């Protein structure tokens, strides 16, 4: 029944999303998604239908025939009923509205699965006409709550909200500095009752959003309170700040900040260490994985192979409960270096695979805050008939001892959140703690 298949070149051009594409995705989920066996088709179709009716309502085109068909718990029959209703609705609407309805329906069906790493890649986001490689479109600042957290982690975020990095653009022109506390976003408080609100999302506008964002700011060091209006725009950030691996020697400890598990990142790290080691004998290593957005599993296993051999680093589990172990890449030479890994809520996905294994295998300590808990399982791509791609986790990730990490995150050995005052003063207590654990004066 499922016709989706792993994509192969050449990439077909994308064509509009129709109800037939939604059907293909529906069966693709049953055939390949980790939750495909257990997912309730009725719930999935209901999620889709709710989104469809909301779109009808929002667009002012609601129809009396837009009534959820009765479902009977049979995936095939229920689809037939759903599709018939969908067609009844769209027969009464223009073609472009039909496509929009198909898109929101499929997006909601996938969101309802409740499994991160389930994504549908379609309709490349629009780009600023003057966009060049290396440009950014934003307010020009980063905060202690990453844009990813802003979308998924309202529950676990720790306040207050403050600026961690000024990359350029409007934030730079307005004179913002790291450590400036953001007390309100467009008049809304980012934390209410200790919980992060959706106001944070307005701090990370995307093209083509152009509406200015008003920030109420507090600079704790001077007590100054003021507000600025920042207009989202295109700017050129300092690329040196955004390299995948940056490094320095702190005494005889190597400090490396690693932003992701890109292809060949493990070898890149080893080359950097070898270079630093040629300057002076290394006594320890700090891997700063804060904000690390993940990447390739083989890079995780290769990097872990520098600290332990013959070990399991995590598990990829099938719905039937069988698990395939991920293992250290033992072709790597052991570094024999004491290790501390810095983590925070921005460390997600492959970063959590890495951090959890470091902790479970006892090859290093974790310092910072709990990781993001966005590690449902390794996704695989499936091509749909209209040239769009469905990424589905086919297995579920568990830790070295088969412990759940997804949504839970990995708790550090030493809990040490970054504060606005630290950032404003250019201090990094987590790094300081790491250095003291490694027996090196900071």
Binding to another protein by CB under 8 A, coded x per residue (else -) over 2-41, reads -----xxxxx------------------------------
Please state the separation of Cα 275 from the chain's center in Å: 31
By the rule CB under 8 A, 380 interacts with another protein: yes
CB of 4 to another protein, least distance (A): 13
Coil vs helix vs strand at 398: strand
Name the residue among 266, 278, 354, 341 with its Cα closest to residue 306.
266
By the rule CB under 8 A, 378 interacts with another protein: yes
Distance CA 378, CA 34 (A): 10
List the one residue from 50, 389, 408, 411 that touches another protein (CB under 8 A): 389
List the one residue from 2, 3, 186, 264 that touches another protein (CB under 8 A): 264
Phi (first) and psi of residue 225, to 5 degrees: -120, 125
Distance CA 65, CA 48 (A): 16
Identify residues 217-246 at the interface with another protein (CB under 8 A): 237, 239, 242-245
User: Which CB, 237 or 412, lies closer to another protein?
Assistant: 237
Phi (first) and psi of residue 90, to 5 degrees: -75, -20
By the rule CB under 8 A, 69 interacts with another protein: no
* Helix axes of 350-360 and 297-304: crossing angle, nearest 10 degrees: 30
Stretch that binds another protein, among 90-98, 343-351, 411-419, 434-442 (CB under 8 A): 343-351
| Structure tokens, 429 | 């207590």
List the one residue from 144, 261, 284, 337 that touches another protein (CB under 8 A): 261
What are the C-alpha distances in Å from 100 to residues 46, 47, 59, 118, 322? 17, 16, 10, 20, 40
CB of 353 to another protein, least distance (A): 7
Binding to another protein by CB under 8 A, coded x per residue (else -) over 154-173, reads --------------------
User: Which CB, 135 or 407, lies closer to another protein?
Assistant: 135
Stretch that binds another protein, among 51-59, 60-68, 76-84, 288-296 (CB under 8 A): 288-296
Residue 349 sits at the vertex; the CA angle it makes with 348 and 353, to the nearest 5 degrees, is 105
CB of 25 to another protein, least distance (A): 16
What contacts 267, CB < 8 A, 6 or more positions away?
302
CB of 259 to another protein, least distance (A): 8
User: Which CB, 245 or 250, lies closer to another protein?
Assistant: 245
Phi (first) and psi of residue 227, to 5 degrees: -130, 150
Tokens 């934003």 identify what position?
Answer: 138
Please state the separation of Cα 124 from the chain's center in Å: 18
Which residues bind to another protein, rule: CB under 8 A?
7-11, 116-117, 119, 121, 124-125, 127, 129-135, 148, 237, 239, 242-245, 260-265, 267-268, 271, 275, 293-298, 300, 302, 329, 348-350, 353, 374-375, 378-381, 389, 391
């Amino acid at each position: 029944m499922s016709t989706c298949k792993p994509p192969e070149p050449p990439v077909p051009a994308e064509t509009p999303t129709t109800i037939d594409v939604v059907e293909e995705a529906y069966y693709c989920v049953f055939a390949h998604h980790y939750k495909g066996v257990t997912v309730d088709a009725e719930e999935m179709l209901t999620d889709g239908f709710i989104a469809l009716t909301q779109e009808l309502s929002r667009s002012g085109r609601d129809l009396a025939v837009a009534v959820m068909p009765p479902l009977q718990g049979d995936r095939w029959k229920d689809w037939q009923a759903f599709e018939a209703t969908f067609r009844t609705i769209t027969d009464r609407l223009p073609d472009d509205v039909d496509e929009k309805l198909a898109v929101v329906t499929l997006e909601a069906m996938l969101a309802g699965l409740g499994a991160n790493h389930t994504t549908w890649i379609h309709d490349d986001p629009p780009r600023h006409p003057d966009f060049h490689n290396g440009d950014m479109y934003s307010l020009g600042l980063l905060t202690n709550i990453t844009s990813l957290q802003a979308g998924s982690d309202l529950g676990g975020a720790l306040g207050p909200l403050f600026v961690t990095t000024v990359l350029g653009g409007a934030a730079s022109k307005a004179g913002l500095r790291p450590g400036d506390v953001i007390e309100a976003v467009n008049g809304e408080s980012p934390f209410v009752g200790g919980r992060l609100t959706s106001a944070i999302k307005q701090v990370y506008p995307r093209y083509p959003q152009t509406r200015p964002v008003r920030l109420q700011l507090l600079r704790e060091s001077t007590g100054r309170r003021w507000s600025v209006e920042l207009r989202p725009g295109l700017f050129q950030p300092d690329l040196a700040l955004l390299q995948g691996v940056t490094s320095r020697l702190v005494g005889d400890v190597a400090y490396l900040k690693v932003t992701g598990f890109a292809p060949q990142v493990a070898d890149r790290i080893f080359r950097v260490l070898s270079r630093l080691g040629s300057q002076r004998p290394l006594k320890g290593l700090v891997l700063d994985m804060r904000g690390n957005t993940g990447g390739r599993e083989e890079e995780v296993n290769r990097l872990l192979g520098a600290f332990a051999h013959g070990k399991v680093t995590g598990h990829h589990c099938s719905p039937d409960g069988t698990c395939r172990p991920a293992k250290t890449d033992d072709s790597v030479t052991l570094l024999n270096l004491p290790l501390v890994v810095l983590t925070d809520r921005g460390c997600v996905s492959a970063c959590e695979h890495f951090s959890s294994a470091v902790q479970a295998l006892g090859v290093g300590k974790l310092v910072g805050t709990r990781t993001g808990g966005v590690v449902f399982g390794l996704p695989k791509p499936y091509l749909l008939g209209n040239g769009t791609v469905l990424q589905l986790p086919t297995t579920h990730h568990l830790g070295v001892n088969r412990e759940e990490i997804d949504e839970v995150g990995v708790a550090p050995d030493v809990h040490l959140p970054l504060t606005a005052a630290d950032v404003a003063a250019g201090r990094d207590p987590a790094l300081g703690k790491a250095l003291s654990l490694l027996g090196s004066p900071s």
